[in-house]
Amino acid sequence: MSDSLGLDEPPQPHRAGGDAYRVLARKYRPQTFAALIGQEAMVRTLENAIRRDRIAHAFLLTGVRGVGKTSTARLIAKALNCVGPDGQGGPTIDPCGQCEPCRAIAEGRHIDVIEMDAASHTGIDDIREIIEASRYAAVSARYKIYIIDEVHMLSKAAFNGLLKTLEEPPAHVKFLFATTEVNKVPVTVLSRCQRFDLRRIPADKLAEHFAWVSAEEQVEVETEALALIARAAEGSARDGLSILDQAIAHADLEGGGVRAAAVREMLGLSDRGAVRDLLGLLLAADAPGALAALRRQYDLGVDPQAVFRALLEAVHGVTLVKVGAPEDAAQAAEERDAYRDWSAKLSFAMLHRLWQLLLKGHDEVVRAALPIEAAEMALLRIVHASTLPDPGELARQIASGSISVSGPSTATPAPAQRSNEFAAVMALLEERGHHALYFRLHSNARLVSAAPGELSFSGSRPIAADVLTELAQVLKAETGRAWKIAMVDAPGEPTLKEAADAADEAARQAILGTPIVAAARAVFPDAELIDWPKRSVS
């Protein structure tokens, strides 16, 4: 690409045998502010500052890797020292790139623009050299400029040594700091700098830029492949160009260029069509089909963790469509149609539950010693959950009388039936986030009776009046009808906590009664059982 368009050098698709290859991330490093991608707000601020001669003495550039921090620092150095093609120009937001200062800074050889990597120069001695040298005027440039990359890695002593000079530097000195971890930079330094937060570059802009680079390199790249690379870059132009470089090297250029399938294979990504198929099988409660689809992805070399991450992205995408968010321009038409269809069929409650189940499954797969087996068990849990009714809807149906587990001819529900109705109420409280109320009932409520719109608890285990009032208010808000909640003088069922404790003790006794444990205790009479499978509080 030509210098006028702001990049290092024109394309060189046909290099001589002795020429060293330059990776795309270096070859297409921005050489003008116009070539910076996605940083329009920062460029506008700098342009106004230069035009009004309100140039700060110190700049702090922050942001994730590869968004252009170091490139911006060099561009600022060029902008402040450019003298124009005729040698008579002043500071400008559009450095000419032709004068000696511009060329020397671009090539990294200007004597008055000093770059230092704080990762390898962390001590006070390195900063002391800068302080001493800053007293002397620039040799040939308008400003002496110090660019310190990864400034957060300076030692505490180095930061302290820099403070005074940073606050009142000589008029001919400018400091440009770059960091990916601004939280590690002392507040005393932050307060002395003009800060610019460089944004992550949107995927659609990255894909557009990579398409342009591919054209300059005379390499055909599928649109879907560009979208995959842009997503994998996670907002970093440098990372994306490195991936594109690898994809070009990986592809069979004689066979038609860079294909999406090859990029997917290279990155170890799950095919998005296969992910949509898997999500459809989960929603249809097709357990054998879901497990087979997962195994097909696994046999192709896709990490189970990547499958769950792709499923999470799909559920997130469906949810965004349901709330009316703008469509992703880089999204395939088939994916867009599938998301629209699912968003019409799935409620927010179902999407929320599916997200939580997938997130839990993802975490389990990450920690599991057997990732594929953990992934299969997580998918089976999702299939099982998809066949269960929504807790809120179930409670509303019970409250309205449309569902009654007691049957029309039974005056008093059996204990198991009463427990089922109370369990629906407790599931509703947990689902809707009423955790304090849930745990107070879990520990103290001894159920006596449960009927549509009515609950009564035993007075032998008193529950505070404010708890009963709060329960009635919550159930009315969630089910749309009034509930009658009362304490009665009658024996009740064990609390949920007591039932769980009893189950734990039964499990403990069952383990102690096994022949091998009994034999071990006979040999070691002082041995104790300190851990065994216990029931969850919920």
Tens digit of each residue's pLDDT (9 = 90 or more) over 382-435: 888 766 655 555 555 555 555 544 443 344 444 545 567 788 888 888 888 888
Tens digit of each residue's pLDDT (9 = 90 or more) over 317-341: 999 999 988 876 656 677 888 899 9
Tokens of 449: 């009776």
The backbone torsions φ and ψ at residue 63, rounded to the nearest 5 degrees and listed phi first, read 150, 170
Domains and CATH numbers, the chain: 39-197 (3.40.50.300), 203-267 (1.10.8.60), 272-386 (1.20.272.10), 394-493 (3.30.300)
At residue 408, the pLDDT reads: 39
Distance CA 453, CA 458 (A): 17
At residue 10, the pLDDT reads: 44
Helix and strand numbers, DSSP H then E, in the chain: 23, 8
Model confidence at 50: pLDDT above 50? yes
3-state SS of 334-397 is HHHHHHHHHHHHCCHHHHHHHHHHHHHHHHHHHHCCCHHHHHHHHHHHHHHHHCCCCHHHHHHH
Following DSSP, what letter does each residue of 426-462 receive, concatenated? HHHHHHTT-HHHHHHHHHH--EEEEETTEEEEETTS-
Indicate yes or no: pTM above 0.85.
no
Q: Is residue 195 packed enough to be buried (19+ CB in 10 Å), middle (13-18) or exposed (0-12)?
A: middle
